[in-house]
Structure 1
Amino acid sequence: MASMKDIARHAGVSTSTVSHVINKTRFVSEEISERVNKVAKELNYAPSALARSLKMNRTRTIGMLVTTSTNPFFGEVVKGVERSCYQENYNLILCNTEGDTERMRASIDTLMQKRVDGLILMCSTLEGEKIDIFQQYPTIPVVVMDWGPIHFESDKIQDNSFFGGYLATKHLIESGHQEIGCITGPLNRQQAQMRFDGYKKALEEADLELNSDWVVEADFECEGGAQALNTLVERGRLPTALFVCNDMMAMGVINVADRRNIQIPDELSIIGYDDIHIAKFMTPSLTTIHQPKYRLGKAAVETLLDKIEKRVERPDLIQLEPTLVKRESVKSR
């Protein structure tokens, strides 16, 4: 395999000149640059990524840790991260934590050994965990997405879940509903609690009573939504509308409603949260709160690169605003 010394000998220039041409680290005349590049092509020269990373102390690689879920929300965010990395000429190493703290620590340690330039974490199932491994790597930039309280220094990207919950419930109220229930996510997770708080705020503003019989805590998965509607049916009379705190649970609700001959939206209106790609293909198509998933991923990469390039020093909180998407699962009364 040809080396820079080989190119320098054939091109009649110094090895440092070849390095500047190949790495574009200093101006070299057009004539010499053309001669060096021509010789490099003739010798089938391929630059060593490892050698370059050692010299530059940069691997142009980002690590991302996610928790496995059937929810395509995560996949759509990862797509935004991956595409942004590609556009910025960075590689992405994706690790799955399976919601396990020890596996997360092991993955972080592995990524550090691979000398990633920074980390993106999207592991809300580990919310509140003390990740002390970061004390071993105090200089590594970290961006956290979709997570609650954290015990290490990082930038944070999140959606405004309180406003999203408020917006969803307000739409049901403006559609004429006064009996409104809620299927929440796990309330020990900040995003779920904030959506529920937004729901309660909208009811309070409209002077509507919160009926605890119409509130069920679930797990953000299809099965949880299905079980939650069964629970509501067993408790007695249903409300006229439900705020379901993510689209996956809304899918479970729609499935059980169909099996129980509960007509949506004629008997029960439903609004979801996330606006995953398949929401518009449900029957009926799902009215929901849109999270800017691609922009969440893009913002995470941009924020991390700002830290890697030392364009910003202090940790930052970036909050993206949700919007209402009206479809066919909410009936005006």
Structure 2
Amino acid sequence: MVSIKDIAKKAGVSISTVSYALNGSSKVTDETCARILAIAKELDYTPNAAARTLKKRQTKIIGVFLTDFSGPFYGLLLQGIKEGLDRQGYEVIVCSGEQSHRFLPERMIDGAIVLDAAFSDKELLQHADRGHKIVVLDRELVHPNINQVLLDNKAGATLAAEHALDLGYRKLYVVTGPQASYDANKRLQAVKQVMDRVPDAEYTEIEGNFSKSSGEKAAERILQEYREPSAVLCLNDEMAIGVYNTVMQSEYRIGEHIHIIGFDNIELSAYMTPRLATIDYSKHKWGALAAEQLLKIISGEAVENERIYVTLVPGESIQLNERP
């Protein structure tokens, strides 16, 4: 592998002169710089990124840590992050799995955006103690080097549950999310609080994992137990679509027998007939704001924790319950 020592030897100059030329320094003349760059090109020289990082203490790369990449949710989030970083000359790498956690302590990245249950709170706090800059999207942590950009899960799940109650339903099925998911747990907690405030309301939890297949499995149970029009609150849209598809293949009809409301307002939900009722928020804004907050922390600016707000999107998938 060609080094700057090889370039210096061929150019007949010092190693420091080559370094100045390769970094565009004004300490060398234009003529000398052009000659050194030409030799570097001739020798097919590739800069040593690791050495440059150690010298500058900066990579201009941000790591985004996700639990997984499946489903339509992550695309808009990542696009928002990428656009926010692009404006400041940063690049992004998307990571999953425990082996990638070493990118922070080994300083292969300048900071991290975390939506990954595989990271423990203890681990993130240890990284923050060592000076690493982090934005979390999936937990509440208090540390000068950690900023929170959280989705207002409580408001969203409250809107969904209250919408079902306002339409006359007093018994709900709730298809839950992964046990390790901060968002799923906050949503379920909010639903329970709403139901507890209504004396004649009750709910049945069905375990899900945010996948369409878990929604399909939940629907099979709901159909087996069907006695009267039932409302189903799914804690994300993918599970809601799984329930929806299974019901569509049965003798029952969406919006007449089985009434469904989801959470996330993914693009597909807008094209379903009847339209899926759901909770909406800007995934693109969530990503862009996370990128903005992280870059502020890296540059030493003071930041406040942020929250992404939600709205209810009504749909014909859940209609008025004409109770006797």
Q: TM-score range by the shorter chain?
A: 0.7 to 0.9
Superposed counterparts of 1:19-168, under 5 Å:
53-97=53-97, 104=98, 106-113=99-106, 115-124=108-117, 126=118, 130-131=122-123, 134-135=126-127, 138-147=130-139, 154-168=146-160
In structure 2, relative to structure 1, the CA distance for the partners of 1:40 and 1:300 (3 Å cut) is farther
In structure 2, relative to structure 1, the CA distance for the partners of 1:263 and 1:148 (3 Å cut) is farther
Q: Secondary structure of 1:185's match?
A: coil
Alignment partner, residue 10 of structure 1: none
Q: Secondary structure of 1:113's match?
A: coil
1:72-125 alpha-carbon deviations (Å, 9 max, x no partner): 21232122112222222101111122xxxxxx2x2121454353111111113x
Matched, 1:311 2:304: no
Matched, 1:198 2:190: yes
In structure 2, relative to structure 1, the CA distance for the partners of 1:188 and 1:52 (3 Å cut) is closer
Matched, 1:183 2:178: no
In structure 2, relative to structure 1, the CA distance for the partners of 1:115 and 1:187 (3 Å cut) is closer
Q: Secondary structure of 1:199's match?
A: helix
| Aligned 8 A contact 1:128 1:148 in 2 | no
Q: Please, which of 166, 173, 192 is the counterpart of residue 165 of structure 2?
A: 173
Deviation at 1:204, TM superposition (A): 4.3
Q: Which runs of 5+ in 2 are unaligned?
A: 8-15
How far apart in 1 are the matches of 2:141 and 2:114? 13
Alignment partner, residue 237 of structure 2: 247
Amino acid at match of 2:225: R
Matched, 1:329 2:320: no
| Aligned 8 A contact 1:160 1:321 in 2 | yes
1:13-58 alpha-carbon deviations (Å, 9 max, x no partner): xx99x97x99899xx9xxxx99999999999899987676454322
1:193-212 alpha-carbon deviations (Å, 9 max, x no partner): 2212322333344x353334
Deviation at 1:142, TM superposition (A): 1.1
Q: Please identify, of 250-259 and 73-82, the stretch whose mean Cα deviation from structure 2 is larger.
A: 73-82
In structure 2, relative to structure 1, the CA distance for the partners of 1:186 and 1:210 (3 Å cut) is farther
Matched, 1:210 2:201: yes
Amino acid at match of 2:207: E
State TM-score, norm by structure 2. Answer: 0.77
Q: Secondary structure of 2:218's match?
A: helix
How far apart in 1 are the matches of 2:193 and 2:291? 33
In structure 2, relative to structure 1, the CA distance for the partners of 1:132 and 1:79 (3 Å cut) is closer
1:217-256 alpha-carbon deviations (Å, 9 max, x no partner): 2211111111112222333425532211100100110111
Q: Which runs of 5+ in 1 are unaligned?
A: 7-14, 98-103
Alignment partner, residue 246 of structure 2: 256
Deviation at 1:257, TM superposition (A): 0.5
How far apart in 1 are the matches of 2:50 and 2:103? 17
